[in-house]
Chain A
Amino acid sequence: SAVISQKPSRDICQRGTSLTIQCQVDSQVTMMFWYRQQPGQSLTLIATANQGSEATYESGFVIDKFPISRPNLTFSTLTVSNMSPEDSSIYLCSAARGETEAFFGQGTRLTVV
């Protein structure tokens, strides 16, 4: 399996500010995704990060709030914009090369105060 490096691992941010999370995979992958895990909840898919084009967002998530970039096959960023305390969650990057495995970065624990 590939190794995903995600940073920062945690951050405490002021409301109204933005945070950009980086995800680096150690080998080329075809698919990259961003998930959110709210406290005590399971994982919810935010969007599919498409290489060289706009991300595909799931219902309830919009580009203005969660802009995503994927300039190449191994790197993606997620920005959480204009943060509020409700954005306090763990954000996880995921990657897949085929249909038999999807693996995760270590996550970014975000607290908005």
Chain B
Amino acid sequence: QKEVEQNSGPLSVPEGAIASLNCTYSDRGSQSFFWYRQYSGKSPELIMFIYSNGDKEDGRFTAQLNKASQYVSLLIRDSQPSDSATYLCAVDAGGTSYGKLTFGQGTILTVHP
């Protein structure tokens, strides 16, 4: 059974700090990795995806992938109160199953002023 585990929360950081969100996955054959943000009562929205080992940066967000360790993380720099949400890590097995995502349980992030 494919599993995706996220670091337990909730996570609370002060405004301007770096928030670090972590995720491990069990299926070594996984191809693509996604971070979604979900505000209360809303649907998930894609923040970033990554499929190559290393870092990928987009504005204040950096995704890091280490396939050998089966580990993916999301760093949020200069955290803002508007970043307060639930962050979902999702893994795509790829191949003929692309787009079919297994989600972690989510980490609740609170950025306090």
Contact = CB atoms under 8 A, between A and B. Distances in A.
Interface in B62-76: none
Contacts of B94: 99
Q: B-side binding surface: helix, strand, loop or mixed?
A: loop
Contact of B46 (A31, A101, A105, A107): A101
Contacts, number: 61
A61 interface: no
A78 interface: no
Contacts of A44: 103
A96 interface: yes
B46 A99 contact: no
B100 A106 contact: no
B102 interface: yes
Size bracket of the A interface:
20 to 34
B105 interface: yes
A77 interface: no
Q: A-side binding surface: helix, strand, loop or mixed?
A: strand
A98 to B, nearest CB: 7
Interface residues of B, number: 24
A53 interface: no
B43 A102 contact: no
Contacts of A90: 43
Contacts of B105: 41-42
B11 to A, nearest CB: 16
A92 B36 CA distance: 14
B51 A42 contact: no
9 contacts: A30-B99, A42-B105, A43-B88, A43-B90, A90-B43, A94-B101, A99-B99, A100-B51, A102-B92
